[in-house]
Amino acid sequence: MCGIVGYTGKRPVVDILLDGLEQLEYRGYDSSGIALKCADSIKVYKAEGKLKNLREELSSHAYELTKSVTGIGHIRWATHGAPTVVNAHPHTCGCGKLVIVHNGIIENYKELKTELEAKGCKFKSQTDTEAVAHLIASIYGEVKDLTKSVQLAAKKLEGAYALCIMHNDEPGKIVATKRNAPLIIGIGENEFYVASDVPAFIKHTKKAVYLTDNQVATLTAETLKIEDENENEIPVKVEQLPWEPVALSKMGYKHFMLKEIHEQPDVIRNILVGKLHTCDSPIVLDEVKLTRQTLKDLNRIQIIACGTSLHAAMVGKYIIENFCSIPVDVEASSEYIYRKTVTDAHTLVIGVSQSGETADTLTAIKQSKSRGSHILIITNRPDSAMAREADSLVPVSAGIEVSVAATKSYIAQLTSFYLLALYMAEIKGTMAQSDLTNLKSEMLALPQKIEQILAHKENIQKCARKYSNTRDFIYIARGLNYPTALEGALKLKEISYINATGYPAGELKHGPIAMLDETMPVLSILMKGTVYEKLLSNSEEAKARNARMIALTNSTDEKLQDLFDYIITVPDVTELLSPIIAVVPLQLIAYYIAEFLGKDVDQPRNLAKSVTVE
């Protein structure tokens, strides 16, 4: 989603901004821009599309650009107004002396705009952000102090925002503030950075301050001052970031997505180290701070998440109920937050998020926290806003995921859910020792099994080619692989734009079967176990309607040859762990179809890696 970078110091700012924006561009965006404090004015440069267009735009202004040492930059994922140059950030006030970049959504911008237009402000764009530029500028006209103007303006804003502002009359200064959107200040030697995420400046400094809601930071080359909204100064709490600068390299793969799919065996190995030693030793989850008694007293678990993380949560529900006999509800965060939900001190609330920044999930977590529930966060970003709300944290340690389509973070979330469910089952004594031992032993073998799938991926690639000309695609499964069907369909939709849907196979006959004919591929996730025969019957029903049948299976049953046009075989695995194995070929099918169709695999249209608006 949108990204912010700002810098003030002694060094030329242009490359610092462009490089910082480049580090954020994997998050997804559709236009970009920078504002530079130059000799006698602030200059703004913007472009539609990718950052290379902004670089081209800048190339004809070489001289003035090299002088500037203070600036702010932005990549925009359009919310209000099309992704055009006019709507791209930075936005300016009427006289062009004040510039602003913004992540988030200002919910009362229409009211603000009406008030400001009545005072004579002329708007150029369709964005909510421009209203903030005019608002701060109009206050500045009276108080003549940028920090104070931002403090006063922020009191009038509703919604979510991370803002960075410069004013031509206060050279060398950036003012930054936030509410419900991340903003971090990087501290260098006689220089400061400000960004919506750490990768934007991590190669320059590991010392940082995380702004909290409503704080206002004023940065110059030599000074950093943080105040609350009422001008009370707040001590600067510097943290050492637990990050190494990572070169975002594809390591020879054509796309980050393919590289990240191939990293999955090691991701599982890394998670298991220190947590699952042998099949006879208990699970170690030091980060779970629930006491044994609280765990035993829990009467309910509520899991909230979005997108791929929601699918991991659905598998989580299945296994926690199965292993621990605790009722579990799963809900999309965006639905959860706008109804009366019932959680209390006996409910464990689990938030699942790759980024740890997803606005819907963050809001849901805050709501539950205020009702006294213990909050457990499963995230790939232990430094994120969600992690900061956590009572217990389960870091999934998948490493930075660049491709917008989540793959390795999903496998990492699933693995973490299995560990958590086993950990709780051991404490509650709800599983037989032999079942625990068998499952742990199979978990330790998962990385090699995924490696086997990856070593024979040509068959999956062939399958993808064969079905790449389709407009629609149906995935069916039952039981704990129903979320796998949803995830396979989501992956395909996201990166190939094919209309793919996942169904619980038993539901097919209640409506979706009407769509089946000889043009429709139906992929059946046919893993051996309790629902295998049932799913086979559902597949027969689809075959009888002439659908193009594909099986993803760990069965060697010969009768599958007659029923299916294409069979993808995966290594044998116990039914309870099968979601971790079954999803890998589905990720590859989605990847190869999108790649074959020539789509922008890593940065699909309209999508963002971190969705920081509700």
Reduced to 3 states (helix: H, G, I; strand: E, B; else coil), residue 427 is helix
Q: Using the minimum distance from each CB to ligand M6R, give the nearer residue, 131 or 406.
A: 406
User: Nearest distance from residue 333's CB to ligand M6R, in Å?
Assistant: 8
Q: Using the minimum distance from each CB to ligand M6R, give the nearer residue, 359 or 536.
A: 359
User: Nearest distance from residue 313's CB to ligand M6R, in Å?
Assistant: 10
Q: Using the minimum distance from each CB to ligand M6R, give the nearer residue, 453 or 608.
A: 608
* Catalytic residue list: 2, 609
| Rounded-to-integer distance, Cα 265 and Cα 87, Å | 43
Cis, bond preceding 395 (omega within 30 deg of 0): no
- Give me the residues that bind ligand M6R (CB under 6 A), please: 306-309, 353-355, 358, 361, 404-406, 494, 607, 610-611
372: left (phi over 0), alpha (psi -120 to 50) or beta: left
> Are 99 and 42 within 8 A, CB to CB?
yes
What letter represents residue 606's amino acid? N
| Partners of residue 330 on adjacent β-strands | 303
Reduced to 3 states (helix: H, G, I; strand: E, B; else coil), residue 166 is strand
Rounded to 5°, angle at Cα 437 from 575 and 349: 70
User: Nearest distance from residue 309's CB to ligand M6R, in Å?
Assistant: 4
User: Nearest distance from residue 103's CB to ligand M6R, in Å?
Assistant: 15
Q: Using the minimum distance from each CB to ligand M6R, give the nearer residue, 191 or 260.
A: 260
Q: Using the minimum distance from each CB to ligand M6R, give the nearer residue, 302 or 353.
A: 353
The per-residue DSSP string of 351-371 comes to EEESSS--HHHHHHHHHHHHT
Helices 264-272, 408-428: crossing angle, 10 deg rounding:
30
Placement of tokens 């200002």 in the chain: 106
Q: Using the minimum distance from each CB to ligand M6R, give the nearer residue, 140 or 418.
A: 418
User: Nearest distance from residue 418's CB to ligand M6R, in Å?
Assistant: 18
Burial class for 400, CB neighbours closer than 10 Å (0-12, 13-18, 19+):
middle
Residue number of the CB atom closest to ligand M6R = 307
Share in percent of the chain as helix, strand, coil (round to 5): 40, 20, 40
> Are 442 and 574 within 8 A, CB to CB?
yes
Indicate the length of the chain as a whole number. Answer: 614
Q: Kindly state the DSSP code that residue 43 receives in the 8-state scheme.
A: E
User: Nearest distance from residue 255's CB to ligand M6R, in Å?
Assistant: 14
